Structure 1
């Protein structure tokens, strides 16, 4: 059966919000539309979250700093998006407005989700009962609200079958966001070189995470900058090749990382009790064995994401006749 290659062009129009509701550009009425109200909720919930924490100084260590950064960053970017839409400045925005809002909303949902999990598990549970703990619990609640609000925006503005939209609103585009975010979390867990420098095979895994992250980030930046036509090959073909390469690379990492980290034949530690750093609970700290396990799980998650990405991307390129 012959196979022909077609190039699929994904574009968008600026007259629709992607929600089935008309948008009022450059007018205060935009805030009364469903998407505007949703972004107001995002703005308020992230503002309340970091304000509650800042008022009592309830953040310490890398995990607390990450949560605080997440809420401040999401508040600032959401405020910028609201200002751009109220001022009708989409055409002057340096990035593609077809792709930027949903890309940011997807990242913000993942960021707030991570903060909603990390902050209470690595910080709040170690606080003594009192005003600081109450503020921290309330901040976690508002972080969860923000996560739901951002996820709702992604669900509402993503591409529907047959709809003309930007690439980042499609399933492969959203998967690119997930892939890069998971890779960033992996980098956070392997920030200590001790976890992989003793074995060349583990260094290969780190190289896999880095290479695949860079390729996915390039694909996102090309879309945000409307530069996909600068590639020497059609963009859908580039996406399919990227996804295939990443699947192959991650498949090797999924085998090698657990094998060299948890198999005694390769000087691994199959049981958590064998790691002296996990002998006691420490606030703001994740022991080495837990880091190794987290990386193994995240590697499997990213492999599944890349497989789904490959399937969807291939459908943009190959059409069986």
Structure 2
């Protein structure tokens, strides 16, 4: 993507089928009248309104409430070739998680009144922000034949998804009692951490435009990383459900046996539900890594 820098004004020209191909001057009021500028204003306003509605009545408590508030107030206004779409993709996923977690773990337990009304309105604006960020990703992702940054391609967006899902997994396994009693489960946690670190390194190398520091071609590095992650996650997909839900290995096959699940109150997820959520997220991330491997392998063949 051609970029011309003159003093503090950056002129960026792109061509895509979304109709966003006109020159946009970052830092100029004229940029706010462009479709992408208006969309980003909608993102800003909707997240600010969601945060303000909840903060005004103190309608958040515990880790899940803190996650939602962090999501709505987190912004990182940098702009270069790979960063905008990376941030938009993360923001879409974060707002999606907050739009699901906040009402299911908090809003439904509130009594009718002003606090509940604010919480419901905040959820609505969170959904708007999610749609707005997802629209930006759809608009700015790479189209066939375009020359663009890696993060705008399918493998780049999959890297974002992989790291985000890993973060959700880490949130669910924050209680070490879920895995410390079995070496196989500790291996699963190691798999989640290793694959997250590798995917994060790939993202940071692209954001910092440091891919040339690698001793091998970057497409080959990505293919090897995806293959390793697929193999590791395949073991976690087998071991985690086996040791969490099979009685032969000390697991609990039925939710009704978990005493903690009999309590129903806000901002609390019982142990059995956490185990199930991690199992589902492991399967989702394995599928993401398989798709990543397929697309990364194509990039290698294209380079060859």
Q: Please confirm whether the aligned pair reaches a TM-score higher than 0.5, indicating the same fold.
A: yes
Once the 2 structures are TM-superposed, how far is the Cα of residue 95 of structure 1 from its aligned partner?
A: 7.2
Q: Secondary structure at the match of 2:9?
A: coil
Separation in 1, partners of 2:62, 2:20: 40
Work out which structure has the larger RCO, using CA pairs closer than 8 Å and 6 or more positions apart in sequence.
1
Preserved contact between residue 98 and residue 166 of structure 1 (Cα < 8 Å): yes
Structure 1, unmatched stretches of 5+, are 76-93
User: Any idea what the Cα deviations from partners look like across 1:167-196, whole Å, max 9, x if unmatched?
Assistant: 000000000000000000000000011000
Once the 2 structures are TM-superposed, how far is the Cα of residue 24 of structure 1 from its aligned partner?
A: 3.2
Distance 1:267 1:178, change over 3 A: same
Once the 2 structures are TM-superposed, how far is the Cα of residue 310 of structure 1 from its aligned partner?
A: 0.2
Structure 2, unmatched stretches of 5+, are none
Structure 1 equivalent of residue 20 of structure 2: 19
Once the 2 structures are TM-superposed, how far is the Cα of residue 74 of structure 1 from its aligned partner?
A: 3.6
Distance 1:96 1:41, change over 3 A: closer
Distance 1:199 1:131, change over 3 A: same
Preserved contact between residue 96 and residue 224 of structure 1 (Cα < 8 Å): no
User: Any idea what the Cα deviations from partners look like across 1:209-267, whole Å, max 9, x if unmatched?
Assistant: 00000000000000000100011111111000000000000001000000000000001
Normalised by the length of structure 2, the TM-score is: 0.92
Q: Secondary structure at the match of 1:5?
A: strand
Alpha-carbon RMSD across the aligned residues, in angstroms, is 6.1
Once the 2 structures are TM-superposed, how far is the Cα of residue 36 of structure 1 from its aligned partner?
A: 0.1
Once the 2 structures are TM-superposed, how far is the Cα of residue 21 of structure 1 from its aligned partner?
A: 3.4
Once the 2 structures are TM-superposed, how far is the Cα of residue 153 of structure 1 from its aligned partner?
A: 0.2
Preserved contact between residue 278 and residue 289 of structure 1 (Cα < 8 Å): yes
Distance 1:295 1:214, change over 3 A: same
Distance 1:96 1:42, change over 3 A: closer
Distance 1:98 1:104, change over 3 A: same
Preserved contact between residue 13 and residue 22 of structure 2 (Cα < 8 Å): no
Asked if 1:213 corresponds to 2:214, the answer is: no
Normalised by the length of structure 1, the TM-score is: 0.87
Preserved contact between residue 14 and residue 20 of structure 2 (Cα < 8 Å): no
Q: Which one is further off, 291-300 or 17-26?
A: 17-26
Preserved contact between residue 3 and residue 13 of structure 2 (Cα < 8 Å): no
